[in-house]
Structure 1
Amino acid sequence: MDGDIVVGIDSHKDTHYAAVLTRGGRRLGARQFGATAQGYNELSEWVETFGTPASFGVECTGSYAAGLTRHLLERGMSVAEINTTNKHARARRGKDDALDAEMAARHVLTGADAIVPKSSTGAVESIRMLLLTRESAVNARTVALQQIQDVLITAPVALRESITYKRGKGAVEACSRLRPDLSRLSDPEQAAKLTLRTLGRRASDLAEEIAVLERELDTLVTATAPTMRAACGVGPVNGAQLLVTAGQNIGRLHSEAAFARLCGVAPVPASSGKTTRMRLHRGGDRAANRALYLITVCRLRYDQRTIDYMQRRRGDGLSKKDVIRCLKRFVAREVFNDLVADLAGCGSMSAEVDVPAARAPSGVR
């Protein structure tokens, strides 16, 4: 780590607090800056008055400090993401922005809890934004469909019976075609028609929005990670989620075991007495864990090698849930190997990544 000072950043929505320490741990200064382009420049110029920065320890590099992180990386600075704080030190010393910034800098000095932040300047960041938008649209559509059913429960009998025999898209289309009499909204039947028509059209619009986003996601995911996208069971949404979890600079993950841990599919012992078994730890990115599960379920239906593996392990005495846990771990390995191959040309690899010699098969051996 070159440089004679380290900098800690306590980030907030509108302001960032910076603290500068020597390599020996002596505090040189602390100051607050605005979370704007001008503030980022002022922070960089202020830090350089103390010497050459060796590294920046920044909290919330993927949210409040995303802009500052991009600014520092563009200037060639070394940035470490600080995710945890020392609770014992906080209990002894108290808490304010200056102390939090200083603690972030001390984390950099010790090397504790500091990781390489995700890159937010490539296609994966675009995929993350589209995936976030699709998720909110799916949630809103679900709410609209549920409200249609709730309204139908108490709607007048004739109106309810004209719609409830339909299911799914048919019910939404029937609600969208209703023609309420706006001059008679004091009549509950007319009010129910207006409500159902509004909810039906909302659900239809959201369904169209979801379809557009999924098409664009498919295009981006296929262009960014064609090897992973071509694997059995990896669709545009699940592929997008795994890309977002790994990040554009996948070199920050030192091995496929680290990726498995990040996705919550790393095995941990769960034995007791005469029972000897393993389970998957319950941490990690639960959205990525769900994506791996859906890929596994898809392969259990369409991939013959996965089906054969299930039958063989069931014959060994494992339960179906235990076999699925094993399969999720295998899928995580394959996805990581595919992502390493796909993202290698993005300038995101590092010497710490264990690059596989060959791509793993899409099925399970």
Structure 2
Amino acid sequence: MDIAEASRHRIVGGVDTHKDLHVAAVVDERDRVLGTGCFATTRQGYRQMLAWMRSFGDVQRIGIESTGSYGAGLLRYMQKAGIEVMEVTTPDKHDRRRRGKNDDLDAQNAAHAAFSGRRTVTPRSRDGMVESLRVLAVCRKTAVAARRVALQIIQTTIVCAPDGLRDTLRSMTRMQLVRTLAAWRPDLSEYRDVDGAYRISLKSLARRYLELHDEIADLDAMIGVIVKELAPELIARNSIGNTGAAQLLLTAGDNPERLRSEASFAALCGVSPVPASSGKTVRHRLNRGGDRAANSALHIIAIGRLRTDPATKAYVARRITEGHSKLDALRALKRYIAREVFHIITRRHRQINQAQIAA
């Protein structure tokens, strides 16, 4: 195709992402497939993919699968190149059953979805402080899980330990137990002896627990600094701590403007009311979709306010007297908190953008 002729065409791309190779497809302004290609998941591969797509015409937008994992690098590259990127969600099951599945077809389906605007959402950008927060939060989550496992193994090991060891450790508190075990100096040459093996094992587990404990404390400090810089007004509100604020910031992303309204944020957090009426009964139920980690953060905030905030107590009591269940009242409270959080995050995001433009 001649370059001048290609420049007159408006095309849409689609990408099926993988760990080492991405498969791309291009459709024209009539949604007809023009071609497919395979490219490496490197900066050079991304450059070749974009050049290949532009050889067919003017790239309007690109639909990419899994922008939060395999497609994260491609997303950042295309955004820096000024290309509109849409995240393609679940594939069309009817089309997959009819046509089958392979990487070329998946890339073509992504291009068709981006062309029609169906099964697409605006992806979260991954080049700001929220992305830094996400990486630290993932590291903290795995460290907390590993620390919990270490403590569980310590407790089960003590249950099976010889009586002489078990009796001295049974009445200690958690941290007293861990610090006592970490301070032991067992003879490493006695690992063949049952008592010696238990002492070596318990000391190793206790030191692992303390190392993870210190690692979590360091991560908490770093997360707290980012949260305070991103949303100081958020953590100043009642019952919103660094952990809950961090999760809500992660759910909103570096580009909360992609959320059309506070209702869309509530739906994303799984606290939007879902109609559950039948006959003469008119009611709403809990939304069991959305980001469950964000839903959990809002639930913890709601419980904290229910215990400490007189206005929240009065609100829940009023809802109950009106005939609603406590669960319904709590659902409505979480919806209110989601509205409050959304406006704080978007207002702060606008302030940050204005400061960057002014600089």
TM-score tier, shorter chain, comes to: over 0.9
CA distance in 1, matches of 2:280, 2:115: 46
Match of 1:183 among 183, 189, 193: 189
Corresponding position of 2:4? none
Q: Does structure 1 conserve the Cα–Cα contact (< 8 Å) formed by 2:9 and 2:28?
A: no
Asked if residue 192 in structure 1 is aligned to residue 207 in structure 2, the reply is no
Match of 1:111 among 110, 117, 126: 117
CA distance in 1, matches of 2:351, 2:126: 16
How far apart are 1:47 and its partner, in Å?
Answer: 1.1
Corresponding position of 1:352? none
How far apart are 1:147 and its partner, in Å?
Answer: 0.4
Matches within 5 A, 1:3-18: 4-18=10-24
1:90-140 Cα shifts (integer Å, max 9, x gaps): 111111111111111111121101111101010000000010000000000
CA distance in 2, matches of 1:280, 1:3: 47
Corresponding position of 1:80? 86
CA distance in 2, matches of 1:179, 1:36: 50
How far apart are 1:316 and its partner, in Å?
Answer: 2.3
Asked if residue 311 in structure 1 is aligned to residue 311 in structure 2, the reply is no
CA distance in 2, matches of 1:290, 1:114: 26
Q: Evaluate the alpha carbon distance shift between residue 104 and residue 346 of structure 1 in structure 2; reply closer, same or farther with a 3 A threshold.
A: farther
Matches within 5 A, 1:128-167: 128-167=134-173
How far apart are 1:213 and its partner, in Å?
Answer: 0.6
Letter in 1 for 2:242: P
Asked if residue 297 in structure 1 is aligned to residue 311 in structure 2, the reply is no
Letter in 2 for 1:155: A
Matches within 5 A, 1:15-30: 15-30=21-36
Letter in 1 for 2:287: H
How far apart are 1:345 and its partner, in Å?
Answer: 3.2
Q: Does structure 2 conserve the Cα–Cα contact (< 8 Å) formed by 1:257 and 1:266?
A: yes
CA distance in 2, matches of 1:3, 1:219: 48
Letter in 2 for 1:278: H
Q: Does structure 2 conserve the Cα–Cα contact (< 8 Å) formed by 1:249 and 1:347?
A: no
CA distance in 1, matches of 2:35, 2:353: 35
Q: Does structure 1 conserve the Cα–Cα contact (< 8 Å) formed by 2:316 and 2:329?
A: yes
Asked if residue 64 in structure 1 is aligned to residue 70 in structure 2, the reply is yes
The secondary structure found in structure 2 opposite 1:170 is helix
The secondary structure found in structure 1 opposite 2:118 is coil
Larger CA deviation: 27-36 vs 166-175? 166-175
Match of 1:51 among 41, 53, 57: 57
**Sequence identity of aligned pairs in percent?**
46
1:254-286 Cα shifts (integer Å, max 9, x gaps): 011111111111111234566543211111111
How far apart are 1:315 and its partner, in Å?
Answer: 2.3
Corresponding position of 1:220? 226
CA distance in 2, matches of 1:274, 1:164: 59
CA distance in 2, matches of 1:295, 1:326: 13
The secondary structure found in structure 1 opposite 2:57 is coil
CA distance in 2, matches of 1:314, 1:272: 21
Q: Does structure 1 conserve the Cα–Cα contact (< 8 Å) formed by 2:140 and 2:216?
A: yes
Asked if residue 123 in structure 1 is aligned to residue 129 in structure 2, the reply is yes
Where do 5+ consecutive residues of structure 1 fail to align?
349-365
Kindly tell me the number of residue pairs found equivalent between the two proteins.
Answer: 347
CA distance in 2, matches of 1:142, 1:298: 24
CA distance in 1, matches of 2:83, 2:282: 49
CA distance in 2, matches of 1:276, 1:78: 42
How far apart are 1:231 and its partner, in Å?
Answer: 1.3
Asked if residue 283 in structure 1 is aligned to residue 289 in structure 2, the reply is yes
Q: Evaluate the alpha carbon distance shift between residue 302 and residue 317 of structure 1 in structure 2; reply closer, same or farther with a 3 A threshold.
A: same
Asked if residue 210 in structure 1 is aligned to residue 216 in structure 2, the reply is yes
The secondary structure found in structure 1 opposite 2:124 is coil
How far apart are 1:317 and its partner, in Å?
Answer: 3.0
Q: Evaluate the alpha carbon distance shift between residue 329 and residue 179 of structure 1 in structure 2; reply closer, same or farther with a 3 A threshold.
A: same
Asked if residue 337 in structure 1 is aligned to residue 315 in structure 2, the reply is no
How far apart are 1:173 and its partner, in Å?
Answer: 1.0
CA distance in 2, matches of 1:101, 1:42: 16
CA distance in 1, matches of 2:9, 2:143: 47
Match of 1:238 among 236, 244, 247: 244
CA distance in 2, matches of 1:111, 1:195: 57
Matches within 5 A, 1:90-109: 90-109=96-115
1:188-245 Cα shifts (integer Å, max 9, x gaps): 1111111111111111111111111111111101101122121111111111111111
Letter in 1 for 2:23: Y
Corresponding position of 2:272? 266
Q: Does structure 2 conserve the Cα–Cα contact (< 8 Å) formed by 1:3 and 1:54?
A: no
Letter in 1 for 2:91: T
The secondary structure found in structure 2 opposite 1:54 is strand
Q: CA RMSD in A?
A: 1.5
How far apart are 1:160 and its partner, in Å?
Answer: 1.0
How far apart are 1:3 and its partner, in Å?
Answer: 6.6
Q: Does structure 2 conserve the Cα–Cα contact (< 8 Å) formed by 1:6 and 1:109?
A: yes
CA distance in 2, matches of 1:84, 1:312: 42
